[in-house]
Structure 1
Amino acid sequence: MPLLDIPDVFIGSTDDGHSFVVINRRIPAADRLLTDAGFFAREHLGRTLYLLPPGTAQDAHERAGDAMYGLLAHTHDFVDLSWTTRWRPGTPEADPDLRFQFTNATVTATAQTSAARSLLEQHGFARAADGSSYQPLPGLEQRSLLGAVTAAETHAYTLGLTVRVGLGIPTPMDIPAAPGRASAVAPRPPSAPAARRRPR
């Protein structure tokens, strides 16, 4: 199962800077909450994607925050690995302290600081043979792999470390289809035309 299909709500970023949201179960308010926050709904390979084009981190942070606050009223099964929505006032964008890169069915982590290296080791990541990167425990299935990265990313955030998670998705067109699933969100129905009245 692709990583995007595990939680009810998945938020991520493409390599070209789009923020996206995938809804994996019926949440009737999702379409309204996301489009009201400025996301654009788009059908893509049997699923509805909600996209924010590349922009400022502050704008993406605020728009995603507005939408996610509303979605939390409907589900807590939520994963946010988006690097485009991370923003801290007064913090310039720079190389992250910690970087995760998903490729195929695994993930590689690199750390720029001793605090980031220590954090990876606390979460079960082991130094790879190349000596410059870290790997999760071998044999983890996708759900456990996603859980390991999410736990480490959240922990890093609480310590003030900057993190970037690359999902291996170059553009929105490369977001994988949901296998065997139709769109999980009921799009907003078009408004009905006004009924014509007969003159008397």
Structure 2
Amino acid sequence: MKIIIINYGAGNIKSIQFAFQRLGFDAVLTNDPEEISNADKVIFPGVGEASSAMNKLRQTGLEVLIPQLKQPVLGICLGMQLMCNHTEEGNTQGIGIFDVNVKRFSNAVKVPQMGWNTIHNLKSDLFKGIHEGDYMYLVHSYYAENCNQAIATTNYELEYASALENGNFFGVQFHPEKSGKVGEQLLKNFIKL
């Protein structure tokens, strides 16, 4: 099983690599298009700011490659947001895999949302063995609007899409690599897809 973590300069990718190691898999960090194309599973991570992350993707041509991938692809946090149509962060055009926009939480709530929150309306094999109301770890100031591609929702100021699915593409707003046993189960499920 060849698992690739796309390395385009987004922070926090080592913790994802360690999470797969704990599951007994060596995930390879690379931005090589051929390696990414030939992987069994692809992780598209992201911690940072949307417009600069998108610029890094464009410099390497990855914004063209990613939507063409045929194997299961999992976007995490900013990775998921960049797979959407547009994000208000830096007024950034996304890759457009998920037909939804990303908005900023209002100042009526503490921003960023940081810590544990529950997931609901679970609708995918990605959530096998995971239950309504289970907790995941989140750190974000922007959210994908609830939409028909949502496979999980979370409530913070409003109900938003905390996970998305479109064909072989999946996205999660939370950090499975920091979400204990429940996050570990989600990564196991992704490996089995």
Is TM > 0.5 for Structure 1 vs Structure 2?
Answer: no
The structure whose residues are more often strand, as a share, is 2
Q: TM-score range by the shorter chain?
A: 0.3 to 0.5
TM-score, normalising length: structure 1: 0.31
The structure whose residues are more often helix, as a share, is 2
Q: Which structure ranks higher in relative contact order (CA pairs < 8 Å, sequence separation ≥ 6)?
A: 1
Computing the radius of gyration from Cα coordinates, the structure with the larger value is 1
TM-score, normalising length: structure 2: 0.32
